[in-house]
Amino acid sequence: METFNFNTIQLDKKKFIIRLLKDAADFIEQQEANAQRKILYNMAKAQYVNDPVLFNKLNEQIWEFRTVYRRNYYRIFAFWVRGYSEAPVVISTHGVVKKSKKIDKNEIVKAESTRLRYLDVIDLNK
């Protein structure tokens, strides 16, 4: 496994904050302990380094956190929210486990739908 040394970067230079919606948190909690650790480690690492292997744009609105562990591809879908806090926030919607690199388009549609519902709620609370 590749090691990552947080001491080689400035920890006060996070590019964004991550928030997990319930479906994303539940998905991570359902995975075995070592997979959970690697998923969370990769998500934290993506906050500091620009690495499309870890955090990749799928379309104009939806991104994914990617982790490969024991030949499984863990995908956590997400979207950006700007202007509601000092730092940009990435909202994680839900996750899936795949045996291949291919992503089911229905998962992207689900993330887009969650994004629209989330933004509607934020607008109602203004």
pLDDT tens, position by position, 62-110? 999 999 999 999 999 999 998 766 789 999 999 999 887 788 899 999 9
**Domain interval for residue 104:** 15-124
Residue 111 forms part of a structural domain: yes
**Does residue 73 belong to any structural domain of this protein?**
yes
7 lies in some domain: no
Q: How many distinct structural domains can be found in the chain?
A: 1
Least confident of 1-5, 14-18, 70-74: 1-5
Report H helices in the chain: 22-29, 33-46, 105-124
Residue 3 placed within a domain: no
Read off the CATH number of the domain in which 52 is found: 3.30.2310.20
pTM summary value: 0.85
In a domain, 96, yes or no: yes
- Answer yes or no: is 4 within a domain: no
Buried b (16+ CB within 10 A) or exposed e, 31-53: beeebbebbbebbebbbbeeeee
CB count, 10 Å around CB of 73? 17
Residue 5 forms part of a structural domain:
no
The pair of three-digit structure tokens given for residue 18, joined into one six-digit string: 């991550």
State pLDDT tens for residues 101-114. Answer: 788 899 999 999 99
